[in-house]
Structures are given as C-alpha cells and as structure tokens.
Amino acid sequence: MRGLRMLTLSEFKLFIREPAAAFFTLAFPLILLFVFGSIFGNDRDPDFGNWGAADVMVQGYIGLIIGTVAFMGIPVTIGSYRQYGILKWLRATPVTSPTVIVAHIIVNGIVTGMGTMLLLIVGRLVYGLRTPEAPFALVGAWLLSYLSFSVVGFTLAGIFSTARTAQAVGSAIYFPQMFLSGASFPRELFPDGLERATRFLPMTQINILVSDLWRGDGLNWIAVMSLSLIGMAAAVIAFRYFRCE
C-alpha cells in the first residue's frame, strides 16, 4: 500500500506539471462549451427534448473528457515510461505491474473527475445548466465509463511499445469518435443515416448512457452492457500484454 500511495502521489505531481495534458482535460471542454454555447445558448429547444443546447453539449463533453484521458493520456504516458526505461526501473523495485495500473487509474480518475466537475460548475454558472434527473445513477455511469475506457488505454499501452506509436493509434481511435459520437456536437443534429451508423461506437455508448440518465429516460442497459463488455475484453488483453519492461 505504501508503494501504491507514493507512486500515485508522484504521478499526480507529474500530471499537474504537464500543461498539455491539463489543457486537453480541463480547459479544452470549456473552450468548446464557450464557443458553441455562445452560438446556440441554452434556451429550451424541442429538438433537444425540451433541454437547452448547452445542457446537451455538456452531457457529450463528459465522454470527451473520458476519451481524452483513455485514448490520449494513458497510452502516451505509459509508452513514454517504457521507451525511456522507467518501467524497467520500476520493475527493480517492489512496485508491480498491477500497482502501476492502479496508480494511473486513480490519478487519471481524479483528473477526469476534476475536469467533469469544472465543466459542470462553469456550465451552471455561465449557462444555467439544468440539474440531472438522476444524479446518483449518473455518478455510477461516469465510473463505469471511465473504468472501461481506462482499461482500453492500458491495452493500447501494452500492445504498442513506444509513445509515438501509442499516440498515433490512440488518435486514430479517438478523433473520429470525438466528432461522430456526440462528444463534441449534439447527435440530435446529425442526419438520420449518420446517427444510425454511429450509434454503436464505444464513445456513443457513453453519450447515450449519460444523456438518458441526465434527462430522466432511465438506465440504458444496452449501453451498460456494451461498456462492460468493452472493459472486460480490454482487461483480458491488457493482462496478456501489459508488462513493466
């Protein structure tokens, strides 16, 4: 436990000293909110189920933050550690591979939570963001989404040995979903064909799960099962490939 505590603290200090990571996790969603919020406002709109545009965009940006950490943050960080021999150095200590994984999950979970809370607070203060209909269930949905996607991040880190390769693959997975899942632009404004074609993307499942709970439409079990299966499959692969070497 002492090794886990010290490694977690060290990783958190390293994160807050890295401006690029902090920008994309904490600041970038706010920039999107200000840009699109200034265009669409937050008046109740029948196209959004009588919710405001800013309400809907914030729901999508939660998935954006999770995806940024999972596909861009974790694989690049672990890839850098492997490339520069830091994982080999850790292997010479009592720190094990599970300890490294748990420490990064904790740190990135804290950061993801900070980004989410900052987004909600600013959205409330600036655009009068409406309160979610099921806030406690929404916390569970957030946790499921984060854990499932963070394991995918470790899978990428385990398969690809360098930070550059992990970043390229993570970007190829992340950016198309960023635009097609509702994480950056409301799916309600998609053409019908595009909406149907992108409905089963992994990040779309986060958007559907969060939006349904936020708007009081209940728990979407298809999204829950999809995210659970993604997390379990990624965990099996990560267990096979991830090593502190």
Rounded to the nearest integer, the mean pLDDT of the chain is: 86
The pair of structure tokens assigned to 231 is 């997390």
Per-residue pLDDT, averaged over 92-98, amounts to 65
In sequence order, the β-bridge partners of residue 51 are 45
Give dist(CA 243, CA 87) in Å, integer.
8
Say how far apart CA 83 and CA 78 lie, in whole Å.
Answer: 9
Task: For the full predicted model, state whether its pTM sits above 0.85.
Answer: yes
**Residue 152 pLDDT level (bands cut at 50, 70, 90):** very high
Q: What pLDDT does 228 receive? A: 95
Position 143 scores a pLDDT of: 96
Rg (CA), the chain: 18
pLDDT at 123: 93
Phi and psi at 52, nearest 5°, equal -80, 160
Answer whether residue 88 shows pLDDT above 70: no
